[in-house]
Structure formats: structure tokens, C-alpha cells
């Protein structure tokens, strides 16, 4: 039986998970592949520790260059994370004729447009299923299972840390800062949680999903991104009273504006109806909802993070590549990595956020005095923004009260124009919260 020789960069949580599968599931995988996967080498900056795994048959190095240039390695698994030095190591591995599998969404979102053509040029495969949705095989479903469809929309709960925090805040009435601390103690959130809680991790993943959905270049830098750090327990309660739950959603949709294709891409805390499928996805679970013109709505859900689920997706990519290599020794994808053949991947403009249409939840802190709600409503009316619901919460110690408004649909540009006038009112404080609402078109 022939074999594929594998090297791993990074023996952190996911790296050790991948190593564990390669060692412990070797015979199961050989039965599925007709081919052996052998972990030959691994690199990590710190080798003086207990890995909790017998790596005695694996060549260990503290220099990733030993792996990406080694003659006896066919496939490199990159699990260092982040932009650099991951980008350089992956590029070097490709240039040395090695297939690459990575769980690194930041890498693909930021440098995919460099690395994908490089892999094609060198005739090697690049797999990144684990970069989106952790253990959920959502990229494979989108790229292959839904290939007959024009994708109409993609919605994702793509960050386990944020979903854990929002779920806990709702269930326990707890404050953001306390739950974030607990998430860090449980190992869900990074020590520096900025990428998670400010929506950047979700934006990385959404930019990959959008590109794969619409055959467009990856444009991570153009994703409108807001995180969850301004959400209070009081907002979560007020939203629940209105029949909604707050989820950090990534949303991507195609548009045709004056005959020109544009793509809407946004990440922000979103009101979802309590009855919606996406509202039921709790704790650190992720979900991706893809709607296609023939298949209609499909939903994929499961563990979006963690050693075992993410390693499961990493090794599934390794197995796909091993299978293709076994056909004729070359690399022919079952599907191109982004689901469209390279010349058909287009440079599609991003829809400006000002043109995005939504309904809104607005929370103002105002002085409790006559005429404040009338003044706010009057400005909204000037901008043709119609109200669906209005409520006022109890007075705070500072004599400010929370006024909550749900609007009907308008554009972001129109809403922001009205908001800048409202914030200038003397009775309205500056800490306004704007949340967008989604009904998922179902
Ligand atoms: N920090 C990420 C999350 C891990 O919380 O979902 C998976 O990308």
C-alpha cells in the first residue's frame, strides 16, 4: 500500500489533535483510502513539554523550515495560525512541491489570492475546510454538494467564543466582561480576544464563504465588521421581550446594481427571531445557512472550534488530497479549491454598506423629559424611516432612560444620516446602540 508522508507545523491544540488522528486512526483511514497516511515530522517552537501523545516515531524540530523544505514530506499541515510566519511557511512548502492543508482562516482570508494561484502554478493542492466552521464540513457542502446552484444568501454563526458569550449572557443575565473572563478561563477565547469578540474572526470566515459562494475574489478587508463588545445584558433582555435573540452573524448576498454585480458582506450582532433555526444554535456551536436557487435553504451546524472537531476537518482534507493523488500521481481536484475554475473567479465589487437594506433595533439613552421620543420620531419620519415598535425602560441612577425602537426597512446610509441628527439632540446621550435585524428570507 502506498503512503502519503505528512508534516505538521505547530503542535498546539489543533496540531496535537491532527497528530492524534494520524496516529490513532491510521488503520481506519487506510481502509477508507486504500493508502496509508504517515506522520513523518512535526515542528513547534517549544518541544520541551509533555504532548500527551507518543510522538517517538515522529521527527521533531523547532524550525518549521525543516518541514517545508524536507524531501521526505508530501503534505504539510499548517496549524501555526495568524498571518505571518504562516504565510511564508505555506508559500515555501508550495514552492517545494508540497500539498498544504490549513485551519488558518486569517491566512486564507488575507493571503488566499496569493497562495491559491501559487498552489495551482506548482501543481499542488491546498485544503482549508477547518478554516470555516471548525468540524462542520460546510465548505465541502458549498463547493461540491451545492455546485449546481446559484447561491442566493449565506448566513453564518461562525465564532464559537462569541456564541458562547451571548448564550451565557442571555441565560444568566450576566454582563459581557464577566462572561468573557469565563470564556477565557475555559479556553474558548484567546488571551487576546479581539479577533473573536470584535468580529474579525467571523469576517475572515465570511470572506472565504462569500468567495466560494459567488465565484469572486476574497475581499476580507472590505467586510463591514462590528463585534459584540458593546452589547449589555439589558440589551439582550430588551431584545428577548421583543421576540428576538442576538447572534453575531456573518451575512453575504449577491446583488445586481445597474447591471453591475456587487456582493454584500457584513458581520455584526443581529436580531434573529426566536423561532428561527439560527436562534437555536447556542454555546460554542457554529451554523452556516446557505440558500441556493434550486436547493432552497440548507443549514449545517456543529462544533465550530476545539481540538477534536477542527482536527477532524483538517484530516478530512488530507484524505481528500491523498485520494486524488492516488488516481494518477498528479493533482486533479474533484472541485477547484474555491469551487470555480481559476479564470472564472472574478473581481466583484463589494456593495457599499450605505446601500445595504435592513430593519433596525435602536437603543438610545436619553434624559427623561417631555418631547424626547417625539423629537427622535420626528427625525426618523423626516428620513422616511417607519417604526414597528417603541418602548421605554426604567430610569437609571444617572436619570437616563433607555428608549428602544424597532424600525421597518431602510438603507444603512439613510439610517446613519438620521442617527447623526438624533445624536446631536441635547437630550440624547452618545452611547447609542444600533443592531440590524434578519428574517433569513424564510
Ligand atoms: N476562536 C475561534 C472561535 C476558533 O471562537 O470560533 C475557531 O476558528
Picking from 148-152, 317-321, 335-339, which range would have the lowest pLDDT averaged per residue? 335-339
Predicted confidence (pLDDT) at residue 396 exceeds the cutoff of 80: no
For residue 188, the CA-to-ligand 1 centroid distance in Å is 7
Determine if ligand 1 sits within 6 Å of the CB of residue 196: yes
In the numeric block, the cell 441635547 is attached to 426
Summarize pLDDT for 418-428 with one digit per residue, the tens: 999 999 999 99
Q: What is the pLDDT of residue 440?
A: 84
The set of residues, in sequence order, having a beta carbon less than 8 Å from that of 245 and lying 6+ positions away, is: 166, 170, 239, 271, 272, 274, 279
Candidates 205, 219, 247, 437; catalytic one: 205
For residue 183, the CA-to-ligand 1 centroid distance in Å is 12
120/115 Cα distance (integer angstroms)? 9
Q: What is the pLDDT of residue 242?
A: 93
The set of residues, in sequence order, having a beta carbon less than 8 Å from that of 247 and lying 6+ positions away, is: 157, 163, 166, 269, 270, 272, 278, 279, 281
For residue 286, the CA-to-ligand 1 centroid distance in Å is 9
Best of 105, 139, 189, 196 for a ligand 1 pocket test (most atoms within 8 Å of beta carbon): 196
Residue owning the nearest CA to atom 7 of ligand 1: 305
288/278 Cα distance (integer angstroms)? 9
422/365 Cα distance (integer angstroms)? 11
- Answer for the pair 308, 17: CB distance below 8 angstroms, yes or no: yes
Q: What is the pLDDT of residue 395?
A: 63
* Averaged pLDDT for residues 340-345: 93
The minimum-distance atom of ligand 1 relative to the CA of 188 is 5
Summarize pLDDT for 198-207 with one digit per residue, the tens: 999 999 999 9
Determine if ligand 1 sits within 6 Å of the CB of residue 289: no
Predicted confidence (pLDDT) at residue 329 exceeds the cutoff of 60: no
Q: What does CATH list as the number for 3-135+307-337?
A: 3.40.50.720
The minimum-distance atom of ligand 1 relative to the CA of 205 is 8
Q: What is the pLDDT of residue 327?
A: 47
Residue owning the nearest CA to atom 2 of ligand 1: 159
| 370 or 132, higher pLDDT | 132
* Averaged pLDDT for residues 322-334: 65
- Answer for the pair 414, 385: CB distance below 8 angstroms, yes or no: yes
The pLDDT confidence band at residue 176, using thresholds 50, 70 and 90, is: very high
CATH topology assigned to domain 354-437:
Alpha-Beta Plaits (3.30.70)
Q: What is the pLDDT of residue 192?
A: 72
Summarize pLDDT for 259-309 with one digit per residue, the tens: 999 999 999 999 999 999 999 999 989 999 999 999 999 999 999 888 899
Q: What is the pLDDT of residue 392?
A: 86
Quick one: CA dihedral 218, 219, 224, 225, positive or negative? positive
* Averaged pLDDT for residues 149-164: 96
The minimum-distance atom of ligand 1 relative to the CA of 310 is 7
Q: Domain residue spans in the chain?
A: 3-135+307-337, 138-302, 354-437
Provide the mean pLDDT of the chain. 93
Determine if ligand 1 sits within 6 Å of the CB of residue 161: yes
For residue 159, the CA-to-ligand 1 centroid distance in Å is 5
Determine if ligand 1 sits within 6 Å of the CB of residue 102: no
The minimum-distance atom of ligand 1 relative to the CA of 158 is 6
> What's the pTM value of the predicted model, to 2 decimals?
0.94
Best of 104, 109, 134, 184 for a ligand 1 pocket test (most atoms within 8 Å of beta carbon): 134
Determine if ligand 1 sits within 6 Å of the CB of residue 160: yes
Picking from 39-48, 149-158, 182-191, 375-384, which range would have the lowest pLDDT averaged per residue? 182-191
Predicted confidence (pLDDT) at residue 442 exceeds the cutoff of 70: no
**Same fold: 138-302 with 354-437:** no
67/193 Cα distance (integer angstroms)? 30
For residue 21, the CA-to-ligand 1 centroid distance in Å is 20
Q: Is 205 a catalytic residue?
A: yes
The minimum-distance atom of ligand 1 relative to the CA of 195 is 1
Residue owning the nearest CA to atom 4 of ligand 1: 305
131/109 Cα distance (integer angstroms)? 9
| 175 or 183, higher pLDDT | 175
Q: What is the pLDDT of residue 330?
A: 54
Q: What is the pLDDT of residue 430?
A: 79
* Averaged pLDDT for residues 357-365: 96
For residue 311, the CA-to-ligand 1 centroid distance in Å is 13
The pLDDT confidence band at residue 431, using thresholds 50, 70 and 90, is: confident
For residue 162, the CA-to-ligand 1 centroid distance in Å is 9
Determine if ligand 1 sits within 6 Å of the CB of residue 159: yes
Summarize pLDDT for 12-32 with one digit per residue, the tens: 999 999 999 999 999 999 999
For residue 413, the CA-to-ligand 1 centroid distance in Å is 31
26-33 and 13-24 helices, crossing angle to 10°: 70
Closest C-alpha to 252, from 203, 285, 286? 203
Q: What does CATH list as the number for 138-302?
A: 3.30.360.10
The pLDDT confidence band at residue 332, using thresholds 50, 70 and 90, is: low
Q: What is the pLDDT of residue 334?
A: 65
* Averaged pLDDT for residues 373-383: 96
Q: What is the pLDDT of residue 11?
A: 96
Q: What is the pLDDT of residue 245?
A: 97
Residue owning the nearest CA to atom 8 of ligand 1: 305
The minimum-distance atom of ligand 1 relative to the CA of 305 is 7
Determine if ligand 1 sits within 6 Å of the CB of residue 106: no
Determine if ligand 1 sits within 6 Å of the CB of residue 226: no
* Averaged pLDDT for residues 353-369: 94
For residue 196, the CA-to-ligand 1 centroid distance in Å is 7
CA distances, 35 to each of 32, 328, 382 (Å)? 8, 13, 69
Determine if ligand 1 sits within 6 Å of the CB of residue 193: no
Amino acid at each position: 500500500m502506498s503512503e502519503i508522508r505528512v508534516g505538521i507545523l505547530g503542535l498546539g491544540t489543533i496540531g496535537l489533535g491532527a497528530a492524534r488522528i494520524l496516529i490513532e486512526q491510521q488503520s481506519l483511514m487506510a481502509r477508507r483510502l486504500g493508502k496509508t497516511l504517515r506522520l513523518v515530522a512535526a515542528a513547534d517552537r517549544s518541544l520541551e513539554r509533555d504532548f500527551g501523545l507518543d510522538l517517538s516515531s515522529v521527527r521533531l524540530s523547532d524550525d518549521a523550515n525543516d518541514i517545508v523544505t524536507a524531501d521526505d514530506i508530501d503534505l504539510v499541515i499548517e496549524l501555526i495560525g495568524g498571518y505571518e510566519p504562516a504565510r511564508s511557511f505555506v508559500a515555501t512548502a508550495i514552492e517545494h512541491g508540497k500539498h498544504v492543508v490549513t485551519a488558518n482562516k486569517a491566512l486564507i482570508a488575507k493571503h488566499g489570492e496569493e497562495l491559491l494561484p501559487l498552489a495551482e502554478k506548482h501543481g499542488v493542492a491546498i485544503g482549508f475546510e477547518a478554516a470555516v466552521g471548525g468540524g462542520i464540513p460546510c465548505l465541502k457542502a458549498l463547493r461540491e454538494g451545492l455546485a449546481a446552484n446559484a447561491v442566493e444568501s449565506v448566513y453564518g454563526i461562525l465564532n464559537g467564543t462569541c456564541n458562547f458569550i451571548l448564550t451565557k449572557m442571555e441565560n444568566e443575565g450576566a454582563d459581557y466582561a464577566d462572561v468573557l473572563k469565563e470564556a477565557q478561563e475555559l479556553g474558548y477565547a484567546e488571551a487576546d480576544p479581539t479577533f473573536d469578540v470584535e468580529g474579525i474572526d467571523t469576517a475572515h470566515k465570511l470572506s472565504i464563504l462569500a468567495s466560494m459562494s459567488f465565484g469572486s475574489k476574497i475581499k476580507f478587508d472590505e467586510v463591514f465588521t462590528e463585534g459584540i463588545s458593546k452589547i449589555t445584558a439589558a440589551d439582550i433582555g430588551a431584545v428577548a421581550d421583543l421576540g428576538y435573540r442576538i447572534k453575531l452573524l456573518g451575512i453575504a448576498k449577491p446583488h445586481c446594481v445597474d447591471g453591475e454585480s456587487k456582493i454584500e458582506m457584513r458581520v455584526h450582532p443581529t436580531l434573529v427571531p426566536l423561532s428561527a433555526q439560527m436562534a437555536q444554535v447556542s454555546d460554542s456551536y457554529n451554523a452556516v445557512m446557505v440558500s441556493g436557487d434550486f436547493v432552497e435553504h440548507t443549514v449545517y451546524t456543529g462544533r465550530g472550534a476545539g481540538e477534536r472537531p477542527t482536527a477532524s476537518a483538517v484530516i478530512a482534507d488530507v484524505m481528500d488530497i491523498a485520494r486524488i493523488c492516488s488516481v494518477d500521481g498528479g493533482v486533479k481536484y474533484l472541485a477547484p479549491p474555491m469551487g470555480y475554475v481559476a479564470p472564472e473567479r472574478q473581481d466583484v465589487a463589494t456593495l457599499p454598506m450605505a446601500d445595504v437594506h435592513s430593519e433596525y433595533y435602536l437603543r438610545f439613552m436619553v434624559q427623561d423629559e417631555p418631547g424626547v421620543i417625539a423629537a427622535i420620531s420626528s427625525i426618523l419620519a423626516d428620513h422616511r424611516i417607519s417604526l414597528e415598535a417603541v418602548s421605554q425602560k426604567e430610569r437609571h441612577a444617572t436619570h437616563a432612560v433607555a428608549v428602544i425602537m424597532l424600525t421597518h426597512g431602510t438603507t444603512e446610509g439613510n439610517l446613519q444620516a438620521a442617527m447623526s441628527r438624533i445624536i446631536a439632540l441635547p437630550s440624547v446621550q452618545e452611547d447609542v446602540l444600533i443592531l440590524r435585524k434578519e428574517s433569513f428570507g424564510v
